[in-house]
Chains A and B, each alone.
Chain A
């Protein structure tokens, strides 16, 4: 439990640190205050279709393997408006480092399989294991909201994965399960909504923006030397203030 709480804290720290730098500059930086959802799954199960259906409301039959794509969507949930950042990952290439990074950065995960492919469900097990390892789960209590999604439910004639089987797996993992179809727009929105509801921290994560002492000491490791002029100036400033005191 203790390890999990520290994990989330670090996430929060980086979020605030990033925020302080981005506020002023016009240059587009990746805002770290986003709520990040990462979509994993085997190649061709319809991750991109699912995301595009949710974000843009569109669907295309053509298949273009994704490398990685990030979408941003402003969402209101629990009476709270925030930006949802959805990362659509690749299923066709193996980049463990990228996957690890995405798991580290992600706040919530959607694991997608195709109900027409048993294999695609099997492949999720390794990803789930990675998430658990990276995020850490103690006492059977999960820290990360995960949604198991069976896509392509419109193709039930080719069904290879029974709903019950996936549901059992979801229960075992302690996550939610849902069957969707990006093509016919079934349950897509609901899947994302359910996922956001899973996170109890959704309310608190964004409101808490206090500077943490820990971040200061952490970044002080980078400290090398001080610009003499600047330090002089700062001394002057200090003097000035002292004199006022």
Chain B
């Protein structure tokens, strides 16, 4: 205990207290001025990173490394690529070993951070992976010890992260030992207790890990109440609330249950332990445990809300056992093995960690509760049937399940009928905001792999891209993409997320039919959309339950269940609705269409060679616990559907929840609803008028053209998760085969420029799209929504045979008929502001390959440049086209109203002001590029060497006065407009690549 306590002392504090003193005393005379600067309020991360890079003083370096701890982690994270580059390529001299160690300490501390550690670890590991692959050849060939040493550092850190050894110190350890001194004497007590328990069980395990110890400490919370049955059961309930390590509490809950012996469940428990690895027995154990819990709940007179977690208590009890450390019943559950990475398992992204599981019912309750006021009675009943049916334990599992389904659906009828009462609206209001604020469990105690799920998820996405490359036609690629994504979708929801987006969320579903392969000659990047549920914390908020695609699948799956459904519901639904079932069943067979593979769950089952006939097994989060919990979810859904039917008969609430039923369940739609939808369709077709018909050669066009808000509404309507108030749709482009680090650098540069312009109040516009590097040749890109490329605009204009169509015509067509109307003027202003922003950025970075396919126009008139594959020293085939400062065609000027117009004058002013602001903060911009040049293989650094950064600095024109700069910029604009090479390059692209 003492040892682990000393381990837990934060590294941060020790470093901070020791080393600054060292620098102060040692080099005070030399660094005092610098130190004053470093300690002033002007000192920030951007200055720190450039000093860290430039300084030769090792004392300064160590000081700066320490200061890293004091900056907000977001600030440091922005410079993570630079920091890693410094770590790998700057710390190679012998006298800089200290700095390497300090940086290493920083990385390690951040990686094992409790809250942001996982994200930081992932980002680090991806970038390191890219570096390592980059330089593996180089290091071997050059035999330079410098590079080798740096690379060794990188590999060491990478392995450390990947092996998941960097974890937060167990929290309770600290908390308990520091704050709960009063209860110290209890610890001995509880320790003994645990040992006794483990002795009681079949395998005698020595408590050797502090996880176990910790759990024993945890136990003190309730061990004092051990004597009285009522109290302890009440405590069990409290533990369902965010209290600490759920996993442990589960374990001990059962221990307590054993001791307390509520309903003679001990016999069945013992039985469960004795029959090794028997699924059946395990279930009995679970259920009887569950039953006893249930009883304790009802004896306490608690309502159903409190009861619900006990389901999950039971579930986590089963899953938690599978973890690879000390557990009394580990041998009984060998059938749930870790299936990470196995996409066919349905749990490819499940690390079997159940520490945060127990509460997701809160989530369900909170988001669908408005029609579940009376659900509690039903729940209790259904659970009692569950335990009743399982205690008989003679029926096979599937039968059991069918039984449950039947029973619950019968049972739910009265509740759903009664829930038609007016009070159903009351909870909705209170719960629509943040449904679950109670997730204080912030520590995983089961030692499950923290990074693996996300790593596997991204790996799976990248792998798709690599598979697609081999396929010949776009059609084939697209079909394959959909089926591959469908397989991934099987494994969702899971604790995975898109690291591109800052807010915490869980991915619950991939609407794979909306994904599309993008245009590319050699590679196969694709865009997909991901349904997520926003949450408080990605890593600790309980996951939502798996919801089936729709009840349609269920109907198609077995005629039996169809009959069952009809039967159970027939007392509620009149024959009119029943006829609808008949109407929809042909449709369900239609969806068996082989065109989309894996559409039907049956197919998945057969392809997976899963012998289990029960389809929800492979779809539920956890196949074993699914037996237990899936019927309950399903019946939720059933009753919930029925509820909304009732609502719709009385008064139609236009709500997403009802829309999800439109997929084929019994829905009653009123005339007003139809009118509303028809109107929607009309407005949709109006808005989507931009690009004409469907283009079979270009599937991505169809995906990208649909306005975002409509796509979102459409997918939400068809999603089983759409009813959650925290539902969101996120777009992402997955690229494999391309190194995105150069894009990342450009993104950083643009982001910094944007920051500077905001700070300096210059109204120029840039829209950096976020980049995530996953490896040397893969990554994610944030798509720009509601934007089309100039190429597409031109192509469309050409296809409509509009003679001499210009961008101005497009503006007039899109944003209003006259040049004086508000919409047009706004779009024009947006165009000018974005044009200025990107002109400056493109000039500074010397971005090339500026053909119209790489320039987008969004629905507000903003011009957005994408694809920074050629910049600084590189250009396409280095032909020397595009010699002008930036791309400025006559068309652009025309949109601005011509050279004489004051909007053009506004453009010039913006260029000047924007340039001045960038120049003022040049020291924040140059290091982003400069540091990345170290040891870099990026194409933009291939030619020119040290000259690259020098000419970048030159482009800021530090030697010019403001007036001179104005003249310079005017000149640049004029020459760009008249540039022959720009026009030549557009023509070149037109003739060679058919880019208009």
Q: Which residues of B contact A24 (CB under 8 A)?
A: 708-709, 712-713
Judging by beta carbons under 8 Å apart, are B678 and A220 in contact? Answer: no
Q: Does A164 contact B (CB under 8 A)?
A: no
Within 8 Å by CB of B689, from A20, A225, A241, lies A225
Q: Which residues of B contact A210 (CB under 8 A)?
A: none
Q: Does A76 contact B (CB under 8 A)?
A: no
Q: Which residues of B contact A2 (CB under 8 A)?
A: none
Separation in Å of the A200 CB from the closest CB of chain B?
23
Give the distance in Å from the alpha carbon of A131 to the alpha carbon of B813 in the complex. Answer: 27
**Which of B113-121, B166-174, B820-828 lines the interface with chain A?**
B820-828
Which residues of chain B from 902 to 918 have any CB-CB distance to chain A below 8 Å in the complex? Answer: 902-903, 905-906, 909-910, 913
Judging by beta carbons under 8 Å apart, are B905 and A237 in contact? Answer: no
Judging by beta carbons under 8 Å apart, are B909 and A69 in contact? Answer: no
Within 8 Å by CB of A97, from B668, B671, B693, B825, lies B825
Judging by beta carbons under 8 Å apart, are A101 and B825 in contact? Answer: yes
Judging by beta carbons under 8 Å apart, are A216 and B685 in contact? Answer: no
Decide yes or no: A223 and B677 within 8 Å by CB, A24-B712, A93-B906, A104-B822 being known contacts.
no
Decide yes or no: A224 and B702 within 8 Å by CB, A95-B906, A243-B583, A244-B580 being known contacts.
no
Q: Does A79 contact B (CB under 8 A)?
A: no
Kindly supply a per-residue 1/0 record for chain A positions 203-228, scoring 1 wherever the CB is within 8 Å of any chain B CB and 0 otherwise.
00000000000001001111111111
Q: What is the total of A-B residue contacts with beta carbons within 8 Å?
A: 126
Q: Does A1 contact B (CB under 8 A)?
A: no
Q: Which residues of A contact B829 (CB under 8 A)?
A: 98, 101
Which residues of chain B from 727 to 782 have any CB-CB distance to chain A below 8 Å in the complex? Answer: 728, 761-763
Judging by beta carbons under 8 Å apart, are A101 and B667 in contact? Answer: no
Within 8 Å by CB of B906, from A98, A105, A243, lies A98
Judging by beta carbons under 8 Å apart, are A222 and B814 in contact? Answer: yes
Within 8 Å by CB of A219, from B668, B679, B683, lies B683
Within 8 Å by CB of B822, from A14, A69, A224, lies A14
Separation in Å of the A127 CB from the closest CB of chain B?
15
Q: Which residues of B contact A64 (CB under 8 A)?
A: 761
Separation in Å of the A1 CB from the closest CB of chain B?
22
Give the distance in Å from the alpha carbon of A242 to the alpha carbon of B583 in the complex. Answer: 13
Q: Does A81 contact B (CB under 8 A)?
A: no
Give the distance in Å from the alpha carbon of A225 to the alpha carbon of B785 in the complex. Answer: 21
Within 8 Å by CB of A105, from B692, B693, B826, lies B826
Decide yes or no: A98 and B902 within 8 Å by CB, A104-B822, A241-B674 being known contacts.
yes
Give the distance in Å from the alpha carbon of A70 to the alpha carbon of B683 in the complex. Answer: 32
Judging by beta carbons under 8 Å apart, are B689 and A224 in contact? Answer: yes
Q: Does A238 contact B (CB under 8 A)?
A: yes
**Which of A25-33, A146-154, A172-180, A185-193 lines the interface with chain B?**
A25-33
Residue of B nearest to A105 (CB): B822
Q: Which residues of B contact A67 (CB under 8 A)?
A: 761-763, 906, 909-910, 913
Residue of B nearest to A26 (CB): B728
Within 8 Å by CB of B817, from A97, A104, A221, A241, lies A221
Judging by beta carbons under 8 Å apart, are B689 and A222 in contact? Answer: yes
Q: Which residues of A contact B692 (CB under 8 A)?
A: 224-225
Judging by beta carbons under 8 Å apart, are B902 and A94 in contact? Answer: yes
Q: Which residues of B contact A70 (CB under 8 A)?
A: 763
Give the distance in Å from the alpha carbon of A213 to the alpha carbon of B701 in the complex. Answer: 30
Q: Of residues A30, A69, A223, which shows the largest number of chain B Cβ atoms within 10 Å of its Cβ?
A: A223
Give the distance in Å from the alpha carbon of A96 to the alpha carbon of B583 in the complex. Answer: 63
Give the distance in Å from the alpha carbon of A95 to the alpha carbon of B763 in the complex. Answer: 14
Judging by beta carbons under 8 Å apart, are A20 and B677 in contact? Answer: no
Q: Does B686 contact A (CB under 8 A)?
A: yes
Judging by beta carbons under 8 Å apart, are A228 and B693 in contact? Answer: yes
Judging by beta carbons under 8 Å apart, are B677 and A216 in contact? Answer: no
Give the distance in Å from the alpha carbon of A20 to the alpha carbon of B685 in the complex. Answer: 16
Q: Does B669 contact A (CB under 8 A)?
A: yes
Residue of B nearest to A28 (CB): B767
Q: Does B690 contact A (CB under 8 A)?
A: yes
Q: Which residues of A contact B583 (CB under 8 A)?
A: 243
Kindly supply a per-residue 1/0 record for chain B positions 675-688, scoring 1 wherever the CB is within 8 Å of any chain A CB and 0 otherwise.
00111011111111
Instruction: Please report whether the interface of chain B is mostly helix, strand, loop or mixed according to DSSP.
Output: helix
Separation in Å of the A223 CB from the closest CB of chain B?
4
Q: Does A126 contact B (CB under 8 A)?
A: no
Q: Does B694 contact A (CB under 8 A)?
A: yes
Q: Which residues of A contact B828 (CB under 8 A)?
A: 97
Within 8 Å by CB of B708, from A25, A95, A228, lies A25
Kindly supply a per-residue 1/0 record for chain A positions 12-47, scoring 1 wherever the CB is within 8 Å of any chain B CB and 0 otherwise.
001000001101111101100000000000000000
Judging by beta carbons under 8 Å apart, are A100 and B681 in contact? Answer: no
Q: Does B860 contact A (CB under 8 A)?
A: yes
Within 8 Å by CB of B826, from A25, A101, A226, A228, lies A101
Judging by beta carbons under 8 Å apart, are A66 and B728 in contact? Answer: no
Judging by beta carbons under 8 Å apart, are B901 and A97 in contact? Answer: yes
Q: Which residues of B contact A156 (CB under 8 A)?
A: none
Decide yes or no: A97 and B897 within 8 Å by CB, A223-B689, A225-B693, A244-B669 being known contacts.
yes
Give the distance in Å from the alpha carbon of A146 to the alpha carbon of B713 in the complex. Answer: 41
Kindly supply a per-residue 1/0 record for chain A positions 145-169, scoring 1 wherever the CB is within 8 Å of any chain B CB and 0 otherwise.
0000000000000000000000000
Residue of B nearest to A98 (CB): B906
Residue of B nearest to A231 (CB): B685
Judging by beta carbons under 8 Å apart, are B817 and A98 in contact? Answer: no
Judging by beta carbons under 8 Å apart, are A226 and B580 in contact? Answer: no
Q: Which residues of A contact B702 (CB under 8 A)?
A: 227, 229
Separation in Å of the B603 CB from the closest CB of chain A?
24
Decide yes or no: A97 and B685 within 8 Å by CB, A21-B709, A67-B913 being known contacts.
no
Separation in Å of the B745 CB from the closest CB of chain A?
23
Decide yes or no: A227 and B671 within 8 Å by CB, A25-B709, A237-B681 being known contacts.
no
Decide yes or no: A216 and B682 within 8 Å by CB, A29-B860, A221-B817 being known contacts.
yes
Separation in Å of the B830 CB from the closest CB of chain A?
9
Judging by beta carbons under 8 Å apart, are B763 and A69 in contact? Answer: yes
Q: Which residues of B contact A122 (CB under 8 A)?
A: none
Separation in Å of the A212 CB from the closest CB of chain B?
12
Residue of A nearest to B678 (CB): A238
Separation in Å of the B706 CB from the closest CB of chain A?
8
Separation in Å of the B918 CB from the closest CB of chain A?
15
Judging by beta carbons under 8 Å apart, are A227 and B826 in contact? Answer: no
Decide yes or no: A223 and B685 within 8 Å by CB, A25-B712, A101-B826, A244-B669 being known contacts.
yes
Q: Which residues of A contact B662 (CB under 8 A)?
A: 240
Q: Does A80 contact B (CB under 8 A)?
A: no
Q: Which residues of A contact B677 (CB under 8 A)?
A: 237, 241
Residue of A nearest to B814 (CB): A222
Q: Does A234 contact B (CB under 8 A)?
A: yes
Give the distance in Å from the alpha carbon of A242 to the alpha carbon of B580 in the complex. Answer: 12
Q: Which residues of B contact A94 (CB under 8 A)?
A: 902, 905
Residue of A nearest to B728 (CB): A26
Q: Of residues A14, A29, A226, A243, which shows the largest number of chain B Cβ atoms within 10 Å of its Cβ?
A: A226
Q: Which residues of B contact A66 (CB under 8 A)?
A: 761
Judging by beta carbons under 8 Å apart, are A216 and B683 in contact? Answer: yes
Separation in Å of the A78 CB from the closest CB of chain B?
25
Which residues of chain A from 77 to 128 have any CB-CB distance to chain B below 8 Å in the complex? Answer: 93-98, 100-101, 104-105
Give the distance in Å from the alpha carbon of A222 to the alpha carbon of B686 in the complex. Answer: 7
Judging by beta carbons under 8 Å apart, are A93 and B905 in contact? Answer: yes
Judging by beta carbons under 8 Å apart, are A100 and B820 in contact? Answer: yes
Judging by beta carbons under 8 Å apart, are B709 and A230 in contact? Answer: no
Q: Which residues of A contact B825 (CB under 8 A)?
A: 97, 100-101, 104
Judging by beta carbons under 8 Å apart, are A222 and B813 in contact? Answer: yes
* The 5 A-B residue pairs with the shortest CB-CB distance in the complex, in nearest-first order: A224-B689, A101-B825, A234-B681, A226-B685, A223-B686
15 contacts between A and B (CB under 8 A): A64-B761, A97-B902, A98-B906, A100-B825, A105-B822, A216-B686, A219-B683, A222-B686, A227-B688, A228-B693, A231-B685, A234-B678, A238-B674, A238-B678, A241-B669
B interface list, Cβ under 8 A from A: 580, 583, 662, 667-669, 671, 673-674, 677-679, 681-690, 692-694, 702, 705, 707-709, 712-713, 728, 761-763, 785, 813-814, 817, 820, 822-823, 825-826, 828-829, 860, 897, 901-903, 905-906, 909-910, 913
Given contacts A226-B689, A237-B677, 9 further A-B contacts (CB under 8 A): A21-B709, A97-B903, A98-B906, A104-B822, A238-B678, A241-B669, A243-B583, A244-B580, A245-B674
